[in-house]
Each structure stands twice: as C-alpha cells, then as structure tokens.
Amino acid sequence: MAVYTDVPPEALHAFLADYDLGAVRSLKGITEGVENSNFLLETERGRYILTIYEKRVDPADLPFFLGLMEHLARHGLPCPLPVHARDGQALRRILGKPAAIVSFLEGRWPRRIEAGHCTALGEALAALHLAAADFGLRRPNALSFAGWRALFAGCRGKADAILPGLEAEIATELEELARLWPNDLPAGVIHADLFPDNVFFAGDKVTGIIDFYFACNDLLAYDVAICLNAWCFEQDGSFNVTKAKALLQGYRQRRPLSPDEVAALPVLARGSALRFLMTRLYDWLHQVEGALVKPKDPREYLRKLRFHRGVAGPRAYGLG
Ligand SMILES: Nc1ncnc2c1ncn2[C@@H]1O[C@H](COP(=O)(O)OP(=O)(O)O)[C@@H](O)[C@H]1O
Ligand SMILES: N[C@@H](CCOP(=O)(O)O)C(=O)O
C-alpha cells in the first residue's frame, strides 16, 4: 500500500489550477509501491501519475530524479515525462509536501519472467546508460560502501535474530568486497533499482521504466549486476543461466561490456546482493508498528550473495 497522504478535492483543484491539464475526471490512489504516495490522475487531457514525495526521499535529490526522467524520455526511452506547470516548474508542492505529475505509461510489469523479457530488459538498460551519458546533473550513490556500513551499524546486535551467524557473515563480506571492488570501470548514471515491478511490458516489448528514486552515478556494470539478481533467480532460489545469458546478450547488443567489466561481474553481483540484503535487513529490523508496507525478506538476498560468492567466474552467467 503506498498512499500515505490523502488528497481532498479542494487541495487537488488548487494544485491543478497551476497546470494546463484541463478539468479533473478522477484521482485514484495506487496501492503498489513503497516509498511515495502515487495516484492515477485522469483529466480532460489524458492520464497522468501524481506522486507526492514522502519522508524517505530527500527533496534535494528531486531535481536530479525528475531531470533524469525528462532527459531519458526526450532521448526516446519509455520513461515518465514530468509535466511542467505554467511557471515552468515540474517540482511543486501539494499539502505542504513536494509533488510532481508525470506521464502515464502503458503496459504491465511481468509477474512471470521469461527469457524474452530479460533480452528486452538488457537492451533497455544499455539504452538508458547510453542516453544518460550527457545528462548534466550528478548524484553519488548513497547506497554504496558508506551506506552499507551505516545500515550495518543500525543492525548491530540484531541481525543474528534472523539467522545465527549473519552478522559475522556480513562483516566479512563488507571487508572482502572493499578489497575486491573495481574502481576503474566505466561509470555513469545508473537506475540502481531496475526490478521487474519497475519495468512495464506489452508482450516482449518494454513500454515503461519507472521508479528513478535510487538513480545515481556509479559503475554501469553494477546496474547490470543488480538486474542479474532481480531478474535471473527463480522462486526456489535457483539461478537461471538462460535468463542471465539473455539479459547480457540484450545489453551487449547495445553497449558492449569490456573484458574488465565481464571479469568483475561476480564481485559486482555480490555487492548488489549485499546492497539489497542490507536495506531489507534494516527495514525488517526497524518495522514501524501499524505501517502499511510489508517488509521484503532479507534472506532471499543472502542466498543470492552466497551464490555469487561461490561462482568460479563470469562463465556462470552464461558468458563464453
Ligand atoms: N508513469 C507511470 N505510469 C503508469 N503507472 C505508474 C507510473 N509510475 C508509477 N506507476 C504505478 O505506481 C506504482 C508505484 O510506483 P513506484 O514508483 O514503484 O512507487 P514507489 O517509489 O513508492 O515504490 C507502480 O507499480 C505502477 O503501478
Ligand atoms: N527493489 C527493492 C525495494 C524498493 O522497492 P520499490 O518499490 O521502490 O522498487 C527490493 O526489492 O528490496
């Protein structure tokens, strides 16, 4: 459930008076999502998404997120296009909170992932990296080593309640990854959370890429590793090498991976697994009573982390 703010009709009308979107037909809360309040807004002009930014998004980051969506949409990516109000601003306020209207994207995120989705996803991810290359703003990744360590500090003394030995395993992993992490790979703007629920399809065609609220500057191949984790494991925890091969083939058709990027994939996949393990662990251990959002299982990402730690090399991902 992600509707944290109720929008009374008077507030909506006052807000929309500054846009050229015509009269409101309806406003419906969208129950999917975690971070912000999202609404499907229908006006005389068409369908839009109204997002009200809640506590977890730093308002200082919003120009980067909205600017990036606009940049990518203008480069032909199927990303939400922010709607500017008459004063030229896309970032405005409703009920005292930051808010924006973006274009509505058609399609549905895949509940059952097929290899064909992975190929198309790989192509779309590479297209995103290429199109973002001349985006003018920068945002360091808040969820890299320093962020992981801060989350870990917030879980100290509690992690073993989820699985005995977890705390020591994470501490060792943090040390090893800090030693192994590649710092000289191609970098740029990455999506950083391109999970299946953030990619809409019509058949095998990508029709929408949403949720840019973790986007940042980091290693491009790290984004590929995030997708390997989010798209290529089955429900039973097994790794599907056919899907991985499809994803990597799709990506490499648009943006070839250098030999160093390929060699680094196992380490990057470990780091990506640790990133989602840490945020999920933190959220699991800091559940707010009465919260409407069900936390995601951190153990899923521990299993993925262990898989990548055990691979002999990038061949495990279907690369020759
Ligand atoms: N531009 C869009 N077009 C169509 N649906 C959207 C769009 N943006 C968001 N949604 C809908 O809102 C839901 C939540 O959006 P999301 O950005 O993932 O929220 P959160 O950041 O809170 O997790 C999505 O699953 C989708 O159903
Ligand atoms: N993809 C993350 C959680 C972030 O949720 P989103 O709804 O903003 O994509 C995870 O699976 O841990």
Q: What is the CATH number of the domain that holds 143?
A: 3.90.1200.10
State the pLDDT at residue 1: 47
Q: Are residues 91 and 138 in the same domain?
A: no
Are 133 and 30 contained in the same domain?
no
Same domain, 195 and 50: no
Residue ending a domain, choose from 103, 127, 160: 103
**Is the domain of 263 the same as that of 141?**
yes
pLDDT along the chain (320 residues), means of 10: 81 96 95 85 97 91 98 98 97 96 98 97 98 98 97 96 96 98 96 98 96 97 98 97 98 98 98 98 85 84 98 92
Closest ligand 2 atom to 195 CA: 1
Which of 296, 301, 304 maximizes ligand 2 atoms within 8 Å of its Cβ, making it the mutation to test the pocket? Answer: 296
In a domain, 231, yes or no: yes
109 inside domain: no
Distance 78 CA to ligand 1 centre (A): 14
Let me know if residue 1 belongs to a domain.
Answer: no
- Give residue 308 CA to ligand 1 midpoint distance, Å: 30
Name the closest ligand to CA 39: 1
* Predicted pLDDT at 55: 82
Ligand 2 pocket check for 198: Cβ under 6 Å: yes
Assess whether 63 and 140 both reside in one domain: no
In a domain, 134, yes or no: yes
User: Does 70 contact ligand 2 (Cβ within 6 A)?
Assistant: no
- Domain check: are 288 and 161 in the same one? yes
Nearest-atom number in ligand 2 for the CA of 296 is: 12
Q: Is the CB of 191 under 6 A from ligand 2?
A: no
108 within a domain of the structure (yes/no): no
Chosen domain end from 103, 129, 161 = 103
Same domain, 127 and 99: no
Q: Which of 211, 212, 214, 296 to mutate to test the pocket of ligand 1 (most atoms within 8 A of CB)?
A: 211
Residue 29 lies in a domain: yes
Residue 199 CB contacts under 8 Å (≥ 6 apart), including other chains: 109, 110, 117, 121, 124, 206, 208, 209, 210
Q: Are 208 and 199 in contact (CB under 8 A)?
A: yes
**Are residues 52 and 89 located together in one domain of the fold?**
yes
For residue 83, how far is its CA from the centre of ligand 1 (angstroms)? 16
Nearest protein CA to atom 7 of ligand 2, as residue: 33
What is the predicted pLDDT for the residue at 292? Answer: 65
| 290 and 142 within one domain | yes
Domain boundary (77, 103, 129) is at 103
| Same-domain status, 66 and 125 | no
Residue 54: give the domain boundaries.
Answer: 9-103
The residue whose C-alpha atom lies closest to atom 2 belonging to ligand 1 is 104
- Identify the CATH number of the domain in which residue 56 sits: 3.30.200.20
Q: Is 34 near ligand 2, meaning CB less than 6 Å away? A: yes
Find the residues whose C-beta lies inside 6 A of ligand 1: 2, 30, 32-36, 38, 49, 80, 102, 104-105, 197-198, 208, 210-211, 213
Q: Residue whose CA is closest, atom 26 of ligand 1? A: 32
CA of 20 to the centre of ligand 2 (A): 33
Task: Name the domain count of the chain.
Answer: 2
Interface confidence, given as ipTM, is: 0.94
Q: For residue 206, how far is the Cα from the chain centroid?
A: 16
33 CB less than 6 Å from ligand 2? yes
